[in-house]
A = this chain, B = another copy of it.
């Protein structure tokens, strides 16, 4: 019975996600569903990316958090539209909460909408938000075994950013093992190896996301 109910929840989520996807295609808005463990660097990635792209594109952000608006506060300085969704204990965003947030944006005047999901490597992977694609962020300090231990997100993502490469030298992260496992889970994924705080290799990511926005 639990399984059936979970299926109903996912079916309803999928229907709403399909509606959102159609709407955003009409309005020519790229939506990126950003997923990672807590503290992998989602907000820092957005901070740097917005800083770099804000003169080229019209950007919006949905901040998913269990409680608090701390991440939104960190992005406030960019003076772009930001909507906070507090899940009040919930472990992921779903398409219904996105649907309620979208009317807060002037979609006709938006090029890209970044959705920062709740910090969780598991549950957000199961819920389609109507996004254009999922972006998985993983940091070197979490260890090299995340793709094989949490395969669903890494299988679903169109692009993966490996963050905190500046800290590799202080950890036992093994790049060869990481790439080998990742290749087993998703051999076709696009990967960027960066340090957001040190601005290392960020240009490649900015170019890639710009091309995605331009080709939407």
Contact of A121 (CB < 8 Å), options: B119, B141, B149, B166: B119
The smallest C-beta distance from A3 to any residue of chain B, in angstroms, reads 12
Interchain CB contact under 8 A, A120 and B121: yes
Residues of B within 8 A of A126 (CB): 89
Residues of B within 8 A of A141 (CB): 39, 139, 141, 164, 167
Interface residues as binary, A97-127 with B (CB distance below 8 Å gives 1, 0 otherwise): 0000000000000000000001111110010
Interchain CB contact under 8 A, A119 and B149: yes
Among the listed stretches A50-58, A63-71, A200-208, which one makes contact with chain B, having 4 or more residues with CB under 8 Å of it?
A63-71
Counting contact residues on chain A (CB < 8 A from B), the size range is: 35 or more
Interface residues of A (CB under 8 A from B): 2, 5, 9, 37-40, 65-68, 70, 89, 91, 118-123, 126, 139, 141-143, 145-146, 148-152, 164, 166-167, 170-172, 197
Interchain CB contact under 8 A, A149 and B37: no
Residues of B within 8 A of A149 (CB): 38, 65-68, 70, 119
In the bound complex, CA of A118 to CA of B164 (Å): 23
In the bound complex, CA of A144 to CA of B15 (Å): 38
A-B contact pairs, 18 of them (CB 8 A): A37-B38, A37-B142, A39-B142, A66-B149, A66-B150, A68-B148, A89-B122, A91-B91, A91-B120, A91-B123, A119-B121, A119-B122, A119-B149, A120-B121, A120-B122, A141-B141, A167-B171, A170-B170
